[in-house]
Structure 1
Amino acid sequence: MEIIIRDGGHDDIPAILGMLDSCVEWLVRQGRTGQWGTKPLSENPRVVESVTRHMDEGSVFIAEADGVPGATLTLTGAPGAYLSHLPPPGEPERYIHWLASDRRFQGHGLGSALLAHAAEETRRAGLSLLRVDCYAGGDGKLVRFYESNGFVRTETYRGTGDWPGQVLARRV
């Protein structure tokens, strides 16, 4: 399978929302509803606004598998406002938002390819800090995924409804 990473744009929003919905369906099938709930994220106006806003604030990338959009992430210069209570990193950074993949491509390395691309984009920008936050509840697989891609745990936090979150960082 050939993986190509390209710049994304507003025309990709339906595909990105489809990837997010695919993740929710997959998590629900596994009984792992704590991360994103049970309803398609594309039906949540706050999620659609967040995807669009982060795209406007930064750069979105799409990983295509044999020409089919299969995964996405967006890079901006800061975390979301929901993390404003955490201390700032003390240096410029790139921050990952909305990493998601169409679960049809599970196990093909699209997410890891996007994370490597984000690290390279961060380096190219002359920065050395790349951060992300994620769901830290349940079985911890998501945190371990980021760790397997070179990230280390930094701050833990509690989001809305006592949602367990973890911030991770990677030096590039």
Structure 2
Amino acid sequence: MSTTLRRGDEQDLGTLLAFFDEAVAWMVARGQPDQWGTEPWSANPKRVERVRALIGSGELWIAELDGVAAGALIVSDHADEHVPTVDEPERYVRLLITSRALAGNGIGSLLLDKAKDIARADGIELLRVDCWAGGGGKLVAYYERNGFAKSGTFTVKGWPGQVLTQRVTV
């Protein structure tokens, strides 16, 4: 199987929404609706606009496995407003999402490596990401396996979040 990365743009909105819809269905099937709810993102105009705004917030990269969209990454120079700020330049993973149908192919790790490459190319040593801290911490553990360390928490309307940090050698 061949994995490639390509720059994305607003034309990839449908692809990202399909990833979110697939993830919601997968989490609901597992009995974990707390992260993103139970309804498809593509059916909620506010969430569609949120994804559209995310696309415009940084560099979008799409991973393709044998020509099929398998994951997406958005890297920005800043975090969302709910995340504590830092006093140094950073690159922030605003979105990392992969197709559940193609899980187990290392797509997420490949995209995180791309985020590190972006930070490195920009001469930035700090890479951060945040994620849902619920669900027994499985998502947090995923980022830790990919070289990130816990660095702070936040809560937005009862949604527990974990901020993680990784230092990148430039």
Q: TM-score, normalization: structure 1? A: 0.94
Q: Note if contact 1:59-1:76 (Cα within 8 Å) is conserved in structure 2.
A: yes
Instruction: State the one-letter code of the partner of 2:51.
Output: V
Aligned to 2:108: 111
Aligned to 1:47: 47
Q: Give the superposition deviation at 1:99.
A: 1.1
**Unmatched segments (≥5 aa) in structure 2:** none
- Secondary structure of 2:109's counterpart equals helix
Aligned to 1:165: 161
- Alignment partners' CA distance in 2, 1:128 and 1:21: 34
Supply the RMSD in Å over aligned alpha carbons: 1.1
- Alignment partners' CA distance in 1, 2:44 and 2:81: 18
Q: Give the superposition deviation at 1:41.
A: 1.4
Number of aligned residue pairs: give it: 168
- Alignment partners' CA distance in 2, 1:40 and 1:119: 31
- Secondary structure of 1:78's counterpart equals coil
Deviations 1:46-68 (A, max 9, x none): 32222222222311000000011
**Unmatched segments (≥5 aa) in structure 1:** none
Q: Note if contact 2:28-2:38 (Cα within 8 Å) is conserved in structure 1.
A: yes
Q: Note if contact 2:60-2:74 (Cα within 8 Å) is conserved in structure 1.
A: yes
Deviations 1:68-120 (A, max 9, x none): 1110011111111233xx2x211111111221111110111101100001111
Q: Note if contact 1:22-1:101 (Cα within 8 Å) is conserved in structure 2.
A: no
Following superposition, which runs of at least 4 residues in structure 1 exceed 4 angstroms of deviation?
A: none
